[in-house]
Each structure stands twice: as structure tokens, then as C-alpha cells.
Amino acid sequence: MMTPVRSAMVLAAGFGERMRPLTDKMPKPLVPLMGRSLIDHVLDRLNAAGVETAVVNVHYLPEQIEAHMAARADRAPKTIISDEREQLLDTGGGATKALPLLGEGPFFIHNSDSVWSEGVTPALSHMRRHWNPALMDCLLLLAPLSTSIGYGGRGDFDMEPDGRISRRGERQVVPFAFAGVSLCTSALFENAPEGPFSLNLLWDRALEKDRLFGVRLDGRWMHVGTPEALKEAEASFEHEGA
């Protein structure tokens, strides 16, 4: 049975420093890819997965993102701004602040620079199908390094056949990168610290309890972090006819 997911957090507050000069005067979520802004790719995909409300946090050039959200007000999902003008809260702190808007969950937390071409199984539906709160505090979408674009690291996680995951050791190379989307409930945030902190802190707590799982992306992930990666993603979309 597929779990309904009605709300999502879209992380859109960062400076996008690696995307300069494109982000000198434009927030990274508004950088265009194939004629649509990165954040529109994300919101349209969330809408297709049944998400009704998306909370979008803002900090850098926030007025531009607010104006963009206002311009698409007649398109689903409904968007709500979480204002971080006074203090940038990082991924964990930003999601913690937005919890009253997200509800108990389950809800997605989606990076605004993570896009992909779908495989046979749409990724967000795949996550909903695998979500099991009896076993999991958090479920991560993981992309195989072998088919990913714009990622130059040695991987983030290894994954067992049952979906249990482990972090890469210091000198290891592992086959999967975090593809920028997680699925969780408010329970993940119990005893979360105040102020800025990374979601990695909460993932490590879940790992210690053997409650952090992953699901493999059946498609080509594109980490659009730099101008060069943006060009690669454009070329890939054009080649695949996406």
C-alpha cells in the first residue's frame, strides 16, 4: 500500500555559492533548467506525487523567491514561505522551524537543486511505497554514482538489500550518493537542537537506532550544484528527450 504524503519542505534558503556567477543576483532555486526554474521542477514533481502543501524556506534574495511563489499561486501544490531572513538555519534547523507548517507527516524534505530523469518507477512514489514508520525514522533517496551527473564525490552511503544503509568510511568509496530527498515524520525531530544544524545530525541518531533506510533511484540523478553541472544536466535532458 502506498502511503499518502500531503506536505513537503523545499530547502531554498542557501547562497548557492558554487553556482556563481549565476547566483550573484539570483537565488539558486530560480536558476533555469530546460526553460523552468529548478524550484519549479521540484514543485511540479511534488505535485505529481500527491503533495498538496510545500513549505519553502528563504534567506538569500528572499523577495525573488517570494515573488516567484506568488506568480505560481494558481498552480499546485500550495506554497507557504518559511522566513529565515534573520538567521540561516541549515537543513535541520530550517526543517525544525517549519514543523508547525508541515504537520506530523510523513513529509518529504527536498533540496531545490536536485532533479532527475525518471526511470520506470517514479522516485517519490517509490519512496511512498517503501515508507514503513514501524521500522524507519527516515527514508533517503539514493542515487547510484555510476549513472549520476554533477557529483564528484566518493559516495555517501552503502545499502543492504533490505534498504538499511551505512555511511561511507573515511577511505572508502561507496556506490550511492544522497539524491537530495528524504521522507520522515516529526518524530525524527524529537530533542532536536535549537538554531542552525544539519539534517545529518538527525540521520546519525537514526543510524544509531538502525532506523535510517534508503531506496534506490530508478533514473538519472543530476546534482545541479555548479554552472558546469547545469550544462551537463541540460545536455542529458536533451539527449533523453525529457
The domain containing residue 203 runs over which residues? 7-240
Per-residue burial over 172-204, b = 16 or more CB atoms within 10 Å of its CB, e = otherwise: eebbbbbbbbbbbbbebbeebeeeebebeebbe
Rounded Cα–Cα distance for residues 188 and 203 (Å) = 8
| Within a domain: 2 | no
| Within a domain: 202 | yes
| pTM confidence score | 0.93
Count the Cβ atoms, other than its own, within 10 Å of residue 119: 14
Rounded Cα–Cα distance for residues 193 and 29 (Å) = 27
Q: Are 194 and 121 in contact (CB under 8 A)?
A: no
Q: What is the CATH number of the domain that holds 98?
A: 3.90.550.10
- Reading the chain (242 residues) residue by residue, the pLDDT tens digits are 678 899 999 999 988 888 888 788 889 999 888 889 999 999 999 999 999 999 999 998 889 999 999 999 999 999 999 999 999 999 999 999 999 999 988 999 999 988 898 878 899 999 999 999 999 999 999 999 888 887 777 888 999 999 999 998 888 788 999 999 999 999 999 999 999 999 999 999 999 999 999 999 988 888 787 888 888 778 877 655 54
Overall number of domains in the chain? 1
Question: What pLDDT is stored for residue 148 in this prediction?
Answer: 85
| Within a domain: 1 | no
All residues at 6 or more sequence positions from 71 whose CB lies less than 8 Å from its CB, including other chains = none
pLDDT digits (tens, 9 = 90+) for 49-81: 999 999 999 998 889 999 999 999 999 999 999
